[in-house]
Structure 1
């Protein structure tokens, strides 16, 4: 007798898992190390604000849990269903939540939904806005005289303010729309109308604004300052410490919008440095790097390098390193091809790009990091010490002849090879061009003469209120030739030094405004014509 046939069944897909991750109150640098690790490996990232999508650096699917397609805000239940739905597909879901997942958040409800569905989950605590925003505003919640604080979520709640009649610190959430009513309630409960109040909106971001007032005047002052949600309000004597402890809003470039005529890849370190000074950078590429029109010249030079034709190779830019490396990869070569060859780099950045290849530059200028500085340290050709008298110089099509002429004077023969071409980039979007012309940027950082020429060519001249910062004298001269007034000049040809110089300028400007009794404003807020 034949055995019964068992009908085929479709296997149930394995359930995924959910990581509830606290994204902090706004500043991306407040993410925990664990949060960063999980974001890098997530299949799906469910966000609740558009800004959180920028934290995703891999190719994970990004799902909006903030609002539905019709623009309405999703309910707690709808968000929970969204999380469970994606986890049931066997995906690793990272649910990003503002602040901390289990502090004034929907984290508990969504985690319960996962528990009921049999989905594994973990909770990665985040920095809560309750403590982070006052800290960024320079307002401690406790000190030696005041050891307690109470958090009150105002919203639509009915609150008996008599329970908060003492002098303990109060941290008010969702209170902007009812601050007048709240203040009256606290005064009626027995708090002095002169009790200090600090209201901080979009805290921990470079748009953070703080209004310091009293219970008597906070409603009018908040309205005059156009305060809106999200905001954290602190009530109590601790607010008086802000004058001495304000550290974030007093940064030298706080809130400045700075235009950097470079690509995001080129500006990663610079953007981080500017953030440290309180600024937000916006990159606008002005130059596009393209292969040379005649690639045979590079092909011949690389073959000559492998055959031992050169004593030196001189790199004058990071792009030159990249161009040679790409040509090596095309031929199946690696860093071993440099064996026996001396390597020169025009500066530390170029030397760093070479080191990422696994090799070390033999010569870097001890002084000025430029072609002139490189020549000052370059040894003359010596027939007894140098078996070969030829130098391979891969560079841009628009490079100057300074290095070639100097090396020839020192007795070297130079194969001056176009490794890449620099062409003007496409114009930036219309809003960016308009912002440049109308003074919406507080500063522009020019890192070469070509960035000056190309930015003016593709976007127009920066407004006269915009602070102009240049990396060196040659760049400054080009800026002046284009009718720009140079306010900041780096004393070394380094973008980091230029950022530091701009920060020093911002600090001096801030001090001058305070000393004159004027409000501290950004250059973009003072668009009157500057004297030339």
Structure 2
């Protein structure tokens, strides 16, 4: 992660930035913002639950372990958490779920970092556009067998795009995306490896929707980070008017969804990482000076 001291005249000092993630998932970005003089705040909007029907996922994992897939494609860090939990239930490490001959592809640097930290080699990931679209752009035509675990609300674009290249795609629901908070009995409990998720010096303050609305109405929030298309939809439901608050989209899919539902996107991060989001925020505020 980029060191705070490399930033000069970043325009973030005193800026209040609302991150629409749970505190644990917001910490890497919050840590970086704090080091740059901003005040990160957290508004959990989206949470994740285990799939109600585990049979398709378990069956696909049995096939994975048996070497029945040529590729495993990971499209989110939440999918990695599901696989970590499934591996733990089987009494093995995540790396042991994936045979040596099965290649791994992913679409984002966070997922790649976690996968590699547990001993898996990522054979393919887009360098430029870090999204499903980016992965499809570098995917070669194949008639191989692909395991694609995803969220229940995942766009069919990745699945259909892979199939269009000739791949035999087994797509299964790995988890459900729900409004925060997830039910206690279905919440994902697997922790990401230590060292991958960086702890902030302090846990960022968590706001309720009512407190966030009050701050928006008072004009005391400078930016809100939409961390996913589903988060953008929740933002539109809760806050029809953002006032002077700037909306930052974590990536192109989130920006497209925000625009589709009528939210004005001030900037889209070029990379869906804490550094990428900070760079996007800097592009807004660097020439405006710090707030009084």
Q: Could you state the TM-score of these two structures normalised by the residue count of structure 2? A: 0.81
* DSSP-derived class of the 2:97 partner: helix
Equivalent-residue separation in structure 2 for 1:367 and 1:337 (angstroms): 29
Structure 1 position 436, deviation (Å) = 3.2
Verify the 8 A CA contact 1:351 1:361 in the aligned structure 2. yes
Contact 2:142 2:167 in 1 (8 A): yes
Deviation of residue 279 (structure 1)?
0.5
Structure 1 stretch displaced more, 492-501 or 399-408: 492-501
1:117-516 to 2 correspondence within 5 Å?
Answer: 252-334=11-93, 335-339=95-99, 340-381=101-142, 389-426=144-181, 428=208, 430-457=210-237, 459-510=238-289
CA RMSD across the alignment: 2.2
**CA distance in structure 2 between the aligned counterparts of 1:502 and 1:434, rounded to whole angstroms:** 22
Q: Secondary structure at the match of 2:150?
A: strand
- Verify the 8 A CA contact 2:60 2:147 in the aligned structure 1: yes
C-alpha distance in structure 1 between counterparts of 2:69 and 2:257, whole Å: 36
- The 1:308/1:497 distance shift into structure 2, 3 A limit, reads same
**In 1, Cα distance between the equivalents of 2:280 and 2:52?**
39
490-499 or 393-402, which deviates more: 490-499
C-alpha separation in 1, matches of 2:161 and 2:257: 24
CA contact (8 A) 1:277 1:503 kept: no
Which protein, 1 or 2, shows the higher relative CO under an 8 Å CA cutoff with sep ≥ 6?
A: 2
Measure the CA separation in 2 of the matches of 1:376 and 1:429. Answer: 38
Q: Secondary structure at the match of 1:509?
A: coil
Question: 1:462 and 1:272, CA in 2 relative to 1: closer, same or farther beyond 3 A?
Answer: farther
> How far does residue 374 in structure 1 lie from its aligned partner after superposition?
0.9
Residue 286 of structure 2 aligns to a residue whose secondary structure is: helix
- Supply the distance in 1 between the matched residues of 2:262 and 2:140 (Cα, whole angstroms): 40
| Shift in Å, 1:380 | 2.0
CA contact (8 A) 1:447 1:495 kept: no
Query: Could you report, residue by residue, the CA deviation over 1:77-114 in whole angstroms, capped at 9, with x for unpaired residues?
Result: xxxxxxxxxxxxxxxxxxxxxxxxxxxxxxxxxxxxxx
CA distance in 2, matches of 1:437, 1:359: 47
Q: Measure, in 2, the Cα distance between the counterparts of 1:488 and 1:433.
A: 21
Greater CA deviation, 484-493 or 269-278?
Answer: 484-493
SS in 2 for 1:398: coil
Shift of residue 338 of structure 1? 1.4
Unaligned runs of 5+ in 2: 1-6, 182-206
C-alpha change, 1:283 and 1:406, in structure 2 (3 Å) is same
CA–CA separation in structure 2 for the residues paired with 1:443 and 1:337 = 41
Aligned counterparts of 2:262 and 2:209: Cα–Cα separation in 1: 23
Question: 2:126, 2:134 within 8 Å by CA — same for their partners in 1?
Answer: yes
1:464/1:484 Cα in 2 relative to 1: closer, same or farther (>3 Å)? farther
Q: Do the aligned residues in 2 keep the contact of 1:259 with 1:282 (CA within 8 Å)?
A: yes
Q: TM-score, with normalisation over the residues of structure 1?
A: 0.46
Cα deviations across residues 414-469 of structure 1 (Å, max 9, x unaligned)? 11010000011159253233223442211111222211111333x32353111222
Cα distance change of structure 1 residues 260 and 329 upon mapping to structure 2, 3 Å threshold: same
For residues 482 and 438 of structure 1, do their structure 2 counterparts lie closer, same or farther at Cα, with a shift above 3 Å needed? farther
Give the 3 Å change call, closer, same or farther, for CA 481–279 of structure 1 in structure 2.
same
**2:79/2:149 contact within 8 Å kept:** yes
Structure 1 pair 333–521 and aligned structure 2 pair: CA distance change class (3 A): closer
- SS of the residue 1:445 aligns to: strand
Asked if structure 1 preserves the Cα contact closer than 8 Å seen for 2:43 and 2:209, the reply is: no
What is the number of equivalent residue pairs in this alignment? 259
Higher CA-based Rg? 1
